[in-house]
Structure 1
Amino acid sequence: MGSMTSRLVVAAALALSFIATGCTSKVDDKDTTINYVLRANVKGLDPLRANDLYSSTVIAQIYEGLLQYHYLKRPFTLEPGLADGMPVASADGLTHTFKIKKGVKFQDNAAFPDGKGRELTAQDFVYSFKRLSDPKMGSEGFWIFDGKIKGLNEWATAMKDGKATYDTVVEGLQATDANTLVIKLNKPYFQLYYVLAMQFAGVVPKEAVDKYGEEFLNNPVGTGPFMLKSSGDWVRNNKITLVKNPTWRGQTYPSEGAPGDQEKGLLADAGKPLPFAERVVFTELVEDQPRWQNLMKGNFEFAEIPNDNFESAVQKDDRKKINKDLASKGMTLDITPNVDVTYIGFNMKDSVLGKNKALRQAMALANDNTTLIDKFYNGRGIQAQGPVPPGISSYDANYKNPYAFNLQKAKETLAKAGFPEGKGLAELTYEGLSDSKARQQAEFFVQNMAAIGVKVKISPNTWPQFQDKIKTGKAQIFGIAWGADYPDAQNFFQLFYSKNMSPGPNDSSFNNAEFDRLYEQALTLAPGDARDAIYVKMRDIVVEESPWIYNVHREGYRIINGWVNNFKWSDIQNDTLKYMRVDPKKRAELKSKL
């Protein structure tokens, strides 16, 4: 306990020191550094571990994949990343051929002869995708390929049994020459291109994995625009400093975007070489107020408005406009709906919760998410009626969840569950994060449950501890959110597919044969009405079975400092910092006013 306390004291001291000194030090009017704040600690910098937003955000600056999203276009549009053009698909949708860009090099690193990064080949993707699928690696990202690529699952099983190696040929994953990758599928997989743009599908060099072994997650080597120059540039639970990769393949700022982008100045840098920043500094601050105070001092380029600061950040008569005092300092307000859902998950393997649907339904009925949204989000969000958020196909704005807040019905359902007024029900445990906002939300949940006689105790955790408890099945109840990896309802429904149970993305370990059947049927259908109709049936099942309590689809309010250019928020795309440009002279001018 003593050592943990010491680390917390040191972290707090560093945060306070940052606040105190940020406004007094001289501002360099030539410094193009992007200062980015993370609200949770980064677990590691290996694409295999890119299963949370915070780690993925850093990983996306270092690693690249075959495809990426166009920075400005909406709806979200894929474009080539390391692929030389979009892939060619066979008429039956089972074979996809990718040409790999020539001349792309891995970042210079001691893993290579003379420390010079070598050229990327198609075989690097074969290796990286096998590594993602290797059971011994235990990646939570295998779900993107599980059962999809011809021969890959068989290879993974053989690897587990010691009957295969990375040299063993997989029929559906072959480099036919140095710059051609061919992927063959077992059946049509309409999300393939989307998942290839995810950080899980980032390409890694075998030499670096071999050199660093288990420490590879601390010694990243990618092809991206930024790189970790030395291990000393990552101070755990505090700061990560990336520098511009001098051997990056290069890219230019987009010359077209969505309607309105021209008027917002988002096309002013069209055609200019990327990235604009020489460095990116990620600071990890888990508490709201240190983040906000540092933003107000100009130490971060942008940050989300915390709940406690919302009223002072926006105008009283129009919450969609920034406070005039902040506007006078050059700050602007960005409002972007999140493509996400926050929820409270039940461990369906738990001997009490997993076997009693009525108990889960009663707890859902006792959950007052209307007050939750007002109290903890300042009204910035809408009540979630199911897992799929607005803006995603199959979302129905008119649908009402039959287990939405209704205290009387909650009490009646609890009695049907065998626990009238909570009598006979053992105390339950809610796993949450240790920051103040998460603790307050946990306490609110406890109060909601106490109203029907259900006793719940809170177990606070750091982000890595929290993730570990969920992935190892040790969490009985947990509060968390899921942000879209790609713009398809399947990305939300895969969280309930039994073959994706923890440590896969099905954190509740939900298992329902009819749901699985519908899920697998939907995978064979192209986007359209027929698939959406199946998605609606799947929604109805997970609402009725209640493995989750559905809370809120959030709306993001962010304050951006006036020296930041090309800011366009995205929940889905993480490799955005290469497009962002800081005006150092304007920063020096405006920061003097803060």
Structure 2
Amino acid sequence: MLFYFLKIFMVFVFCFIAGCRNNPPELGLRLSLSADIRGFDPAHAVDVRSGKIMSLVYDNLVRFGDSTELVPEIASRWSLSLDGKKYEFTIRKGVFFHDGSPVTAHDVVRSFERVLDPKTLSPQRWMFTRIDGALEFMDGLSSFIAGLVVKNDSSLIISLSAPFSPFIQYLAMPSSAIINYRGVDSINEIPSGGGPWKLVKWERGGKIQFIRNENYWGEGPREPRLVFRIIPEAMTRSAEFEAGALDLLTIPSTEVQRWKKHPEHGKSVVYVEELNIWYIGLNCLVPPFDDVRVRKAMNLSLDREKHLRLLVPGGKLASGPVPPVLLKRHNVETLPYNPKKALRLLEECGYPDGLETELWVGGGSEMFHVIEAFQSDWSAIGINVKIVQSDWNVFKSAVRNGQPPMYYLNWTADYPDAENFLYPLFYSAESMTKRNRYANPLLDDIILQIQSLSYGTERTSLVQKANKILLDEVPWVFLWHKGNYNVTHSSVTGYRNKLVFNAERFLSLEKKNG
């Protein structure tokens, strides 16, 4: 009997050792998030992180491609009337939700109605208010939206109350996702979509697990599983990647040079361009920033190129708010570093001895060290800037109320259109513009023309004109457009850089041992 148990024990030990030496590789992709998502409800997709994750489980009528282009998704094709107000979509056949039910034009209408329904309390209703009859539906004056017409299961017409060229891009945003209305009550536990990934489990604050949708209509994921771990600390994410526990890493800005020189991973570091703008907003309604000469002095006295080179790897200097890729112009005038001219401007407008002001920063900004570097530049011409760091919610409220004379913020595009860097930020009646207390009737008129014109030479010319006005009147200190650096293990292939935040769905990524 003893010999028998000894044999069993030796077999167990041998199997354990063999298992340790030959652990099967973990199947699927292992990625990370710096914080948890808000949920899986497209009607409440207000942040970039949640929007990225939602794009895995939902399809839209159209989707952003690798760059600024739109590609068909649930809609196999579409057309626009000559007056720019009526879109007709053909719904692709053979598309199914995760529960196996077919996707039809009726599901598109229900999805959009749900966002507009006051009971949903969606902060994204603005996306659909340009549809004819949407406002009446929201106000309870109509039980349907006149501009949403289902011809049959495979054909849908969307009519706008007026031409609005960015509308088609709205349809690729996370809140325009097509959901299965039959599963809406449990949308955060079992997202009712039809995208290439299916949610297995969302452990709040821990991890989010997906499996491949084997019945996906299009090119599905190459890997069977996808797991996001919530890892708040940047250095911990780096350590986990180096230990082989993550397959892809977004490199912290302070670590870029180290990773570029890494003996094993240096060749796998890639730059990822993003559509954003980092800036310092100026309150243009009160002294000293009600004087454009002071605003110009703030810009001219800042050695942005030096700070960009030393502190923001991979960034590009901003020439106004619109990123170069959307400005469609190669040789764009930039604001020079000219402290002597800045001094002259200060003297002209009554500040020969300089001035004192405050710069507000929200929360534990990772770019706080950048702001501190700005102080010495401004101090050199007599502008003494006190940095005020506050809780993020306090900061947002203060900026909204016009309290800070200067504030540090950034903006990431909802969709790849220059209009998205103009209307929300500088149209005088728009709420976010009131942060600056800046208004220009000529600029307002140009922005409205941009919205109504179809894409072409005339529209591009107006975008460049609007950008030039803002460069001349400088309601901001224009800083830079900041990208990221990513790195993958050598065992991971198929990484593709996507310009728009919700375009990456991790379909082409593949592990050699996965």
d(CA) in 1 for partners of 2:512, 2:287: 58
Select 2:207's aligned residue among 232, 240, 247. 240
Aligned residue number for residue 532 of structure 1: 460
Deviation at 1:43, TM superposition (A): 3.6
Number of aligned residues: 494
Q: Is residue 369 of structure 1 aligned with residue 299 of structure 2?
A: no
d(CA) in 2 for partners of 1:352, 1:26: 70
Q: Is residue 456 of structure 1 aligned with residue 395 of structure 2?
A: no
Matched-pair contact (CA < 8 Å) for 1:501–1:510: no
Q: Is residue 183 of structure 1 aligned with residue 158 of structure 2?
A: yes
Aligned residue number for residue 335 of structure 1: 271
d(CA) in 2 for partners of 1:226, 1:468: 38
Q: Is residue 326 of structure 1 aligned with residue 297 of structure 2?
A: no
User: Would the alpha carbon gap of residues 393 and 466 (structure 1) be closer, same or farther in structure 2, given more than 3 Å must change?
Assistant: same
d(CA) in 2 for partners of 1:385, 1:185: 34
Q: Percent identity?
A: 24
d(CA) in 1 for partners of 2:215, 2:349: 60
d(CA) in 2 for partners of 1:245, 1:309: 33
Deviation at 1:568, TM superposition (A): 0.5
SS at match of 2:482: strand
d(CA) in 2 for partners of 1:41, 1:365: 40
Q: Is residue 493 of structure 1 aligned with residue 422 of structure 2?
A: yes
User: What letter corresponds to residue 362 of structure 1 in structure 2?
Assistant: A
d(CA) in 1 for partners of 2:403, 2:228: 31
Aligned residue number for residue 282 of structure 1: 228
Q: CA RMSD in A?
A: 3.5
Aligned residue number for residue 7 of structure 2: none
Matched-pair contact (CA < 8 Å) for 2:327–2:463: no
d(CA) in 2 for partners of 1:301, 1:506: 43
Deviation at 1:508, TM superposition (A): 4.7
SS at match of 1:99: strand
CA displacement, residues 566-586 of structure 1 (integer Å, 9 cap, x when unaligned): 10111215243341333262x
d(CA) in 1 for partners of 2:349, 2:45: 39
CA displacement, residues 212-236 of structure 1 (integer Å, 9 cap, x when unaligned): 6xxx667643222224334xx2323
Q: Is residue 197 of structure 1 aligned with residue 172 of structure 2?
A: yes
d(CA) in 1 for partners of 2:389, 2:444: 32
Deviation at 1:559, TM superposition (A): 1.7
d(CA) in 2 for partners of 1:282, 1:505: 36
Aligned residue number for residue 164 of structure 1: 141
SS at match of 2:77: coil
User: Would the alpha carbon gap of residues 543 and 495 (structure 1) be closer, same or farther in structure 2, given more than 3 Å must change?
Assistant: farther
Deviation at 1:201, TM superposition (A): 1.2
Matched-pair contact (CA < 8 Å) for 1:190–1:526: yes
SS at match of 1:189: coil
Select 2:58's aligned residue among 58, 63, 67. 63
SS at match of 2:383: coil
CA displacement, residues 488-523 of structure 1 (integer Å, 9 cap, x when unaligned): 322322333437734x69865654321111111122
Matched-pair contact (CA < 8 Å) for 2:274–2:500: no
User: Would the alpha carbon gap of residues 524 and 40 (structure 1) be closer, same or farther in structure 2, given more than 3 Å must change?
Assistant: same
SS at match of 1:249: coil
SS at match of 1:188: coil
Aligned residue number for residue 397 of structure 1: 331
Deviation at 1:183, TM superposition (A): 0.5
Residue correspondence of structure 1 range 463-478 to structure 2 within 5 A: 477-478=406-407
Matched-pair contact (CA < 8 Å) for 2:105–2:153: yes
Matched-pair contact (CA < 8 Å) for 2:427–2:447: no
Aligned residue number for residue 258 of structure 1: none
Aligned residue number for residue 444 of structure 1: 373
d(CA) in 2 for partners of 1:581, 1:194: 26
Q: Greater CA radius of gyration, 1 or 2? A: 2
d(CA) in 2 for partners of 1:562, 1:170: 52
d(CA) in 2 for partners of 1:432, 1:94: 41
Aligned residue number for residue 78 of structure 2: 87
Aligned residue number for residue 320 of structure 1: none
Deviation at 1:314, TM superposition (A): 2.7
SS at match of 2:459: helix
User: What letter corresponds to residue 61 of structure 2 in structure 1?
Assistant: L
Deviation at 1:388, TM superposition (A): 1.9
Aligned residue number for residue 126 of structure 1: 109
User: Would the alpha carbon gap of residues 417 and 302 (structure 1) be closer, same or farther in structure 2, given more than 3 Å must change?
Assistant: farther
Residue correspondence of structure 1 range 234-313 to structure 2 within 5 A: 234-236=203-205, 239-244=206-211, 246=213, 248-252=215-219, 274-313=220-259
Matched-pair contact (CA < 8 Å) for 2:96–2:217: no
Aligned residue number for residue 546 of structure 1: 474
d(CA) in 1 for partners of 2:504, 2:157: 28
Q: TM-score, normalised by structure 1?
A: 0.72
d(CA) in 1 for partners of 2:200, 2:434: 36
d(CA) in 1 for partners of 2:402, 2:224: 42
User: Would the alpha carbon gap of residues 450 and 54 (structure 1) be closer, same or farther in structure 2, given more than 3 Å must change?
Assistant: farther
| Structure 1, unaligned runs of 5 or more | 1-24, 109-116, 253-273, 316-322, 588-594
User: Would the alpha carbon gap of residues 28 and 540 (structure 1) be closer, same or farther in structure 2, given more than 3 Å must change?
Assistant: farther
d(CA) in 1 for partners of 2:105, 2:155: 6
Aligned residue number for residue 261 of structure 1: none
SS at match of 2:367: helix
Aligned residue number for residue 432 of structure 1: 362
d(CA) in 1 for partners of 2:350, 2:375: 20
Matched-pair contact (CA < 8 Å) for 1:439–1:460: no
SS at match of 2:490: coil
Aligned residue number for residue 195 of structure 2: 224
CA displacement, residues 156-185 of structure 1 (integer Å, 9 cap, x when unaligned): 4xx2xxx336xx222222223333321012
Instruction: Tell me which moved more, 484-493 or 191-200.
Output: 484-493
Deviation at 1:100, TM superposition (A): 2.4
d(CA) in 2 for partners of 1:247, 1:466: 46
d(CA) in 1 for partners of 2:320, 2:247: 34
Deviation at 1:87, TM superposition (A): 1.0
User: What letter corresponds to residue 243 of structure 1 in structure 2?
Assistant: F
User: What letter corresponds to residue 120 of structure 1 in structure 2?
Assistant: V
CA displacement, residues 433-457 of structure 1 (integer Å, 9 cap, x when unaligned): 415x322123224444444333322
User: Would the alpha carbon gap of residues 512 and 467 (structure 1) be closer, same or farther in structure 2, given more than 3 Å must change?
Assistant: same
User: What letter corresponds to residue 305 of structure 2 in structure 1?
Assistant: T
Q: Is residue 150 of structure 1 aligned with residue 141 of structure 2?
A: no
Deviation at 1:530, TM superposition (A): 1.7
Aligned residue number for residue 382 of structure 1: 316
SS at match of 1:391: helix
d(CA) in 2 for partners of 1:59, 1:383: 32
Deviation at 1:338, TM superposition (A): 3.5
